[in-house]
Amino acid sequence: MSKHSSDSPAQVTVKTLQKRKQEKQKISMVTCYDAAFGVLIDDTGIDMILVGDSAGNVVLGFKDTIPVTMDHMVHLTGSVGRVVKRAMLVADMPFLSYNLSVEQALRNAGRLVQEGGAAAVKVEGGAAILPQVRAIVQAGIPVVGHLGLTPQSVHVLGGYRVQGKGDQAQVIIDDAIKLAEAGACALVLELVPAALAEEISRKIPIPTIGIGAGAGTDGQVLVLHDLLGFNSDFSPKFLKKYANLGEVISQALTQYDKEVKGGQFPGPEHSF
Percent of the chain with pLDDT over 90: 93
How far is Cα 14 from Cα 263, in angstroms, rounded to an integer? 55
User: Pick the catalytic residue: 23, 103, 190, 247?
Assistant: 190
Q: What pLDDT is stored for residue 154 in this prediction?
A: 85
Across the chain, mean pLDDT equals 95
Question: Is residue 190 annotated as a catalytic residue, yes or no?
Answer: yes
pTM given for the model:
0.95
Q: Closest by alpha carbon to 76, among 57, 103, 104?
A: 57
Q: What pLDDT is stored for residue 157 in this prediction?
A: 79
DSSP characters over 189-200: EES--HHHHHHH
Question: Do 206 and 183 meet the contact criterion of CB atoms below 8 Å apart?
Answer: no
Q: What pLDDT is stored for residue 8 in this prediction?
A: 64
**Exposure on the CB side of residue 21, measured as CA atoms within 13 A:** 23
Low-confidence ranges of the chain (pLDDT < 50): 1-6
Q: What pLDDT is stored for residue 46 in this prediction?
A: 98
130-155: per-residue pLDDT in tens?
999 999 999 999 999 999 999 999 88
How far is Cα 54 from Cα 34, in angstroms, rounded to an integer? 13
How far is Cα 113 from Cα 78, in angstroms, rounded to an integer? 9
Beta bridge partners of 92: 122
- 157's CB contacts (< 8 A; 6+ apart) are 149, 150, 163
